[in-house]
Structure 1
Amino acid sequence: MNRRGWLHLTLASLPVACRRAPEAQAIHEEEIPWQPLEGHWQHVMGGPLSTPEPGTLRLQWGESLSATKWTGPPVTPPFEMELEARRIDGSDFFCGITFPSRESGECLTWIVGGWGGSLVGLSSIDDKDAAENETAHHRTFEKERWYRLRLKCTADRIETWVDGERVIDFAPPGRKLSLRPGPIDQCAPFGLATWQTTGEFRAPRWRPLQP
């Protein structure tokens, strides 16, 4: 038998598993189950935290920041979370979501309705707060209207949506991410806050994403 025939016979006799690797089964994001954020909220400062009805949290107006911190199983990046929020009273941000923005521990706060009631943005990027960096965006928020808020955080992108409209699309690599100096650090690594405003939150949930 010549060399070519011997090689053909050898390859033909190899087990199928050696000749063809099985295809990897990718998990689509929509298949990842959501985990509710319920029952583990601790009031940390400002106006009192209450539950006006099942599944709804209320942070009452305070002299400055009112805040609650999640004490349940940790929310870790990469992740996606969503909730509904509304302003009951006041004229500043009715929802500030502090979250871990990197696996190394840095946190950011997504501000919704701040600086007079209309600002949306991330605090802080390169030591600039939500009103001063490129994530700043202004829109009108009506009192007592529920808004669906969605946040997606990965190593390459931080994205946010309000009622299905993407309002922030930020690339964090190479940027300094931190919390604005002050009481907001009481919310870290994951928490909710308002500023001189009564806000309500319902149906908060999150899910881990594949890195």
Structure 2
Amino acid sequence: MGMLSIGALLCVSCLCILLGIPHLNKDHFLMKSIRAASIIASLSLANLCAMATDGVGQDKSAPPTKPQKAAVTAQIELEDAPAAKKEAKWLPLFEKNSLEGWESTNFGGEGSVEIKEGVLTLGRGDPLTGVHTKKKDLPTDRYEMRWKAKRADGTDFFAGVTFPIGKDHCSFICGGWGGGLVGISSINGNDASENETSSFRDFKNGKWYSFRIRVDNKVLKAWIDDEEVVSVDREGKSFSVRAEVMPSRPLGYCAFQSVVEVKEWEYRVLD
């Protein structure tokens, strides 16, 4: 019932009083009519409230219903939630046309070293050619490195990266011992040909390969072309480098009797 029904009932009551209908207690009828109208008005108001709750004819300025409150609360919680941590940015280890902060490593018998348009070229050494950094602000733990390299000429390792692992150092060797050995030198005194990281791969001259090393608190990992080739737990193990690449510490790159090109050598700190 709506306001129209209330008005009609009141009109009937007044009409009865005015016409003087016999046997009708006018005062009693009027009080009953007013009481009924009051009840009808209350029911109508309740009906309107129910309609508003259901979203029918709801005033947009009215307070939100329970579902709306839940949505608003969820939105606030989402906005207040901490943003997902972004991974650290990859940073270049050398400049496009400069080896500032780096030196040609004095192995004895090393070949030429030059960089042009972001490509580091190592000439054939007898036996080694390489570079090492003099920078003091590079990470020693919880970091990643990646780079691309190709062996333009030669038959031995073309990606020999010596790097820090906590307070120690070790080397990731790719293409050694005749051109195909992959592994970490050294773990518990055993080099890449003698420990659990040892594997073999057919590297083609003139082809670019992608490499990545990850040093975290528990595990040392390495990849070639996104294929994991090294995964070794650090706990209970000692890491070291072979005597001939000691000059590559703390971070260096070298190749054995090969002409090599290296580019996009970058690092980032892990969270």
User: Which TM-score bucket, shorter chain as reference?
Assistant: 0.7 to 0.9
Which amino acid letter does the alignment assign opposite residue 85 of structure 2?
I
Match of 2:91 in 1: 35
The yes-or-no answer on 1:199 pairing with 2:271 is no
Question: Normalised by the size of structure 1, how large is the TM-score?
Answer: 0.82
Q: Is the 8 A contact 1:67 1:192 kept in 2?
A: yes
1:145 alignment counterpart? 207
Larger RCO (CA within 8 A; separation ≥ 6): 1
Q: CA deviation at 1:26?
A: 5.7
Q: CA deviation at 1:89?
A: 1.2
Q: What CA distance in whole angstroms lies between the structure 1 residues aligned with 2:188 and 2:113? A: 32
How many residues align structurally?
183
Q: Going by fraction, where is strand more abundant, 1 or 2?
A: 1
2:153 match:
89
Q: Which ranges of structure 2 fall in alignment gaps of 5 or more residues?
A: 1-79
Query: Which residue does the alignment assign to 1:109?
Result: 171
In 2, Cα distance between equivalents of 1:122 and 1:47: 24
Identity among equivalent positions (%) equals 34
* Aligned-partner residue type, residue 70 of structure 1: T
Structure 1, unaligned stretches of length 5 or more? 1-21
Shift of the alpha carbon at 1:176? 1.2
- Provide the rounded CA distance (Å) in 2 between the counterparts of 1:173 and 1:115: 28
**Corresponding residue for residue 165 of structure 1:** 227
Q: Which has the higher helix share?
A: 2
Relative distance call for 1:169 and 1:64 in structure 2 (3 A) is same
Aligned with 1:183: secondary structure?
A: helix
Which deviates further from its counterpart, 36-45 or 91-100?
36-45
Query: Paired residue for 2:182?
Result: 120
TM-score norm. by structure 2 comes to 0.64
Alignment of 1:58 with 2:121, yes or no, is: yes
Rounded to whole Å, the distance in 2 between the matches of 1:25 and 1:100 is 32
Residue 140 of structure 1 aligns to a residue whose secondary structure is: coil
Superposition deviation, residue 71 in structure 1: 2.3
SS at match of 2:221: strand
Separation (CA, whole Å) in 2 of partners of 1:34 and 1:58: 22
Q: Which has the larger radius of gyration?
A: 2
1:10 is matched with: none
> C-alpha separation between the residues in 2 aligned to 1:159 and 1:23?
33
Residues 97-116 of structure 1: CA distance to partner in whole angstroms, max 9, x if unpaired?
100011xx200100011011
Cα distance in 2 for residues equivalent to 1:24 and 1:125: 41
What value does the CA root-mean-square deviation take over the aligned residues? 1.6
Q: CA deviation digits over 1:52-105, x for unaligned, max 9?
A: x31000111111121200223323211001000110111110010100011xx2
Distance in 1 (CA, whole Å) between partners of 2:191 and 2:81 is 46
Equivalent pair of 1:67/1:191 in contact (CA under 8 Å): yes
Q: CA deviation at 1:44?
A: 1.2
